[in-house]
Structure 1
Amino acid sequence: MEGADLYLGWRTALLGLATLQILLLAVALLVETGNRVANRTLAALLAVLAGLLIPYAIGFAGFYDAFRWLTFAPFAIPLAVGPLLYGYAASLADGRLPPRWRAHLAPPVLQLAWFALCFLLPADLKWDWYTGGHRTFVAPLFQAMEIVSLAAYAFALRGVLRRQRTRLADQRSDDDRFSARWLGRLQAAILIGLVTQTGFWLWSLITGGIDFFQETGLYLALAALGLYLGVAGWRHGALPVPLPAPLPPVVAEPPTSSPPPDWAVVATDVDHRVREAGWWREPDLTLPRLSRLLGTNTGRLSRALNLGLGVNFSTFVNGLRAEGVAGALRADPDADLLDLAFDMGFASKASFNRAFKSRFGMAPSQYRRSVSDHDFADPEAKLRRVAL
């Protein structure tokens, strides 16, 4: 009722503190100078997540009992979460929002307009509508739409992640530095949120409805998710866009009478020249950069590696780096592994360990122990492993 006492309990304290921290992280992302499109989109997402927490942070304190006019205040717009997550993932990969992205914002804009119109109703009518028709018909519809939206955008994010991993492996040798792993964690976070929300929704359906306090776990989980996205997104905020936005497909040229290149021969020449010149030691070597060094174009070099050697660009370059580390270990088994890895061009310990094991079938430390064995058989003599 109007004039009810306010109460600052542990629920309000936790959710209020989380909301403040999420908003501060959103501000930090707005001033980040890296991938500005992605950072601003994530800042908008964090603001939406903070808005989802506000009704519960103030509700547990008794604000809605003390101030009934706050009913329908348009703090929470959950239908905006999915589109903003998708926009953030796409802009993190391409440096721009996906095509026709504004159309994805239509449902959350309509949801915002609905709450704003209901908020403007006279106080008595507003409360009757909130406890009557809205709670019976509109709120369940919104909840179903929110779950479907999150599921659809989680699936769409899977496509963004798959495309990004493929493009990075095809064009960069330092692909581990960029956003594919973070996008994978982002997708996992969305799925956790989706499962949590669906679980509470099913609980409400089975039991005939759950009250404000029974939803505490859902909103504490939402607060944790918002803090994770904010902190991890801020840590990745300085990453540049690793690749330009994908170009439209190239129309195939009409067939000519000249025979196609022997890609195995072309690839052998590329492999020899790259080894001799030592270009593979450049930490940020890319497909366009290597193409210029070889005096060719990216399409021809990519086909040579894929068709001639059966590997993508990242596997090719990091395989040469792994061979460089192996050669250095044979010369000096006591050398520091990480120093060797960075000297050979690896960007991280994780990428070094993965590439080395892919190339030689064993971890770098195991290889170092093996070179002291009198019966050691050098894997260099074997055909390069394929690890697409």
Structure 2
Amino acid sequence: MIEGLVFGWRTAVLTVAAAVILPIAVGLWTSFYGRTAARTMALLLLVLVGVFTPWLIGFAGAYDKWRWLTFLPVANPLWAPPLLYLYAHALTRGRWPVRGWRHLIPGGVQFTWQAVSFALPLSLKNAWADLSLPVTGPVFTLALTISFLVYGLATIRLLKAYRHALAQQRSDDARFALRWLNRAMVAAAVLAGLWTVYGLWDAIAPLGYRGLMGLYAGLAAITVYLAIESWRQTRVAYPTLEALTTVAPSPASPARDWGAQGRAWADTIRREGWAAEPELSLTTLAAKLGTNTGYLSRAINEGLGVNFSTFVNDLRSEAVAKQMDQGATASVLTLALEAGFSSKASFNRAFRNRFGKTPQAYRAGAARSPQVSDRE
């Protein structure tokens, strides 16, 4: 116990969160796989811990004991939105965008203002705080709101393009869909809204440390979630967007019935059982069929009216349904894994999409839907 400091439950909550996050950030920085994305997330985690650090020490009374801590340059939230975007970019493209460091300039301006203010003599610092904070507080809050909006939309567009490319090239696209990042972004959007409201409210009628505890506890919780989930992603080798969007062009040829070609290839795949390969890709399947990715893609997209992921997962769902029709007694999960699905969640979504009902309902004797091979 340090004299003059009080370590209450508020400080304890934020300290526990920091104790969870910081070791993961160190682990991400030294990660071997997906190094650019992992290091970007490590920086983001450090920024977010820095944002709630003034409250962590403030609840303990550090600012009352050591007045010179005013303007301590650790809380720089303007770095958070671009770092989240850069993380998603590095995860899906394997790198930052060209001159990606420019996205960090606004946060650098905020840090520089804090650092210069922090270096002032104490007598000047107090006067400068009274003069500048009523102005800079709302300005930085508005800038943060705009940043959340701009980079949030940019990240959503990037993830949408990535998922579309995955569905055209991979049958195991659910493994790389980054749904956890969507959940984190929804939570961050809610937090950003609250942050804006709290920030404007605090600028008009200061709430004090206790009044802002809910906001910073929420920030700490989201940061812990980001840390844990991003650490799990270091085990996954994400295909890059460039690799996914590289499809061989279809050579010029006489008009073909792509629907008939797609159904013929579907029959071959059923007969050979190729859909049971969990990591089946457009390139791999084209090689097995003795064609190129351009022809196969046209037969599936134009001929059958579905993307590659839906095509393969429909075939897998049919294989499970056939096993159920024949009275298989194995569990639904076992049948799904044997058919090539990588998880129960992805199987349930695909089966419902194919048959319009859950696997359990189908097994109970519900009427069976038409087969993929009957699609026009």
TM-score (normalised: structure 1): 0.89
The 2-side partners of 1:21 and 1:249 are apart by 40
Q: Secondary structure at the match of 2:236?
A: coil
Residue 216 (structure 1) shift = 1.4
Correspondence list, 1:12-31, <5 A: 12-31=11-30
Check whether the contact 1:353–1:364 (CA below 8 A) recurs between aligned residues: yes
The answer for the alignment partner of 2:96 in structure 1 is 97
Residue 385 (structure 1) shift = 6.5
The 2-side partners of 1:184 and 1:49 are apart by 18
The 1-side partners of 2:368 and 2:311 are apart by 19
- Tell me the alpha carbon deviations over residues 35-89 of structure 1, each in whole angstroms, 9 at most, x when there is no partner: 2222111111100011111111111222222222222221111100001111112
The answer for the alignment partner of 2:221 in structure 1 is 224
The answer for the alignment partner of 1:347 in structure 2 is 342
Residue 259 (structure 1) shift = 4.0
Q: Secondary structure at the match of 2:212?
A: helix
The 1-side partners of 2:212 and 2:360 are apart by 50
What letter corresponds to residue 128 of structure 2 in structure 1? W
Residue 201 (structure 1) shift = 2.6
1:317–1:248 CA distance, 2 compared to 1 (3 A): closer
The 1-side partners of 2:184 and 2:222 are apart by 10
The answer for the alignment partner of 1:324 in structure 2 is 319
The answer for the alignment partner of 1:163 in structure 2 is 161
The answer for the alignment partner of 1:140 in structure 2 is 138
The 2-side partners of 1:203 and 1:115 are apart by 22
Check whether the contact 1:35–1:240 (CA below 8 A) recurs between aligned residues: yes
Check whether the contact 1:306–1:312 (CA below 8 A) recurs between aligned residues: yes
- Tell me the alpha carbon deviations over residues 273-296 of structure 1, each in whole angstroms, 9 at most, x when there is no partner: 222222111011011111222233
1:385–1:92 CA distance, 2 compared to 1 (3 A): farther
Check whether the contact 2:282–2:308 (CA below 8 A) recurs between aligned residues: yes
The answer for the alignment partner of 1:181 in structure 2 is 179
Check whether the contact 2:92–2:239 (CA below 8 A) recurs between aligned residues: yes
Check whether the contact 1:79–1:145 (CA below 8 A) recurs between aligned residues: yes
Residue 155 (structure 1) shift = 1.5
The 2-side partners of 1:382 and 1:142 are apart by 55
The 2-side partners of 1:139 and 1:153 are apart by 21
1:70–1:304 CA distance, 2 compared to 1 (3 A): same
- Tell me the alpha carbon deviations over residues 134-178 of structure 1, each in whole angstroms, 9 at most, x when there is no partner: 212122211111111112212112112211221111111111112
Correspondence list, 1:84-123, <5 A: 84-123=83-122
* 2:50 pairs with 1:51: yes
The 1-side partners of 2:369 and 2:170 are apart by 25
1:224–1:384 CA distance, 2 compared to 1 (3 A): farther
Residue 4 (structure 1) shift = 8.7
1:50–1:273 CA distance, 2 compared to 1 (3 A): same
The 2-side partners of 1:129 and 1:340 are apart by 69
Check whether the contact 2:165–2:245 (CA below 8 A) recurs between aligned residues: no
The 1-side partners of 2:374 and 2:349 are apart by 15
The 2-side partners of 1:364 and 1:384 are apart by 21
The answer for the alignment partner of 1:266 in structure 2 is 261
Check whether the contact 1:32–1:238 (CA below 8 A) recurs between aligned residues: no
Check whether the contact 1:4–1:62 (CA below 8 A) recurs between aligned residues: no
- Tell me the alpha carbon deviations over residues 107-153 of structure 1, each in whole angstroms, 9 at most, x when there is no partner: 11121122112222222112211121x21212221111111111221
The answer for the alignment partner of 1:373 in structure 2 is none
The 2-side partners of 1:381 and 1:240 are apart by 33
Check whether the contact 2:137–2:199 (CA below 8 A) recurs between aligned residues: no
* 2:285 pairs with 1:293: no
What letter corresponds to residue 305 of structure 1 in structure 2? I
The answer for the alignment partner of 2:202 in structure 1 is 204
Aligned identity (percent) is: 44
The 2-side partners of 1:149 and 1:232 are apart by 23
The answer for the alignment partner of 2:310 in structure 1 is 315
1:219–1:377 CA distance, 2 compared to 1 (3 A): closer
The 1-side partners of 2:210 and 2:66 are apart by 19
Correspondence list, 1:120-135, <5 A: 120-132=119-131, 134-135=132-133
Check whether the contact 1:19–1:53 (CA below 8 A) recurs between aligned residues: no
The answer for the alignment partner of 1:379 in structure 2 is 369
The 1-side partners of 2:362 and 2:142 are apart by 55
1:248–1:367 CA distance, 2 compared to 1 (3 A): closer
Number of residue equivalences: 375
RMSD: 2.6
1:263–1:227 CA distance, 2 compared to 1 (3 A): same
The 2-side partners of 1:36 and 1:198 are apart by 33
The 1-side partners of 2:278 and 2:330 are apart by 20
The answer for the alignment partner of 2:59 in structure 1 is 60
The answer for the alignment partner of 1:302 in structure 2 is 297
1:93–1:7 CA distance, 2 compared to 1 (3 A): same
Residue 9 (structure 1) shift = 2.0
The 1-side partners of 2:88 and 2:350 are apart by 26
- Residue segments in structure 1 that go unaligned for 5+ positions in a row: 371-375
Q: Secondary structure at the match of 2:141?
A: helix
Higher alpha-carbon deviation: 148-157 or 76-85: 148-157
* 2:191 pairs with 1:193: yes
The answer for the alignment partner of 2:37 in structure 1 is 38
Higher alpha-carbon deviation: 323-332 or 22-31: 22-31
Residue 180 (structure 1) shift = 2.9
1:212–1:76 CA distance, 2 compared to 1 (3 A): same
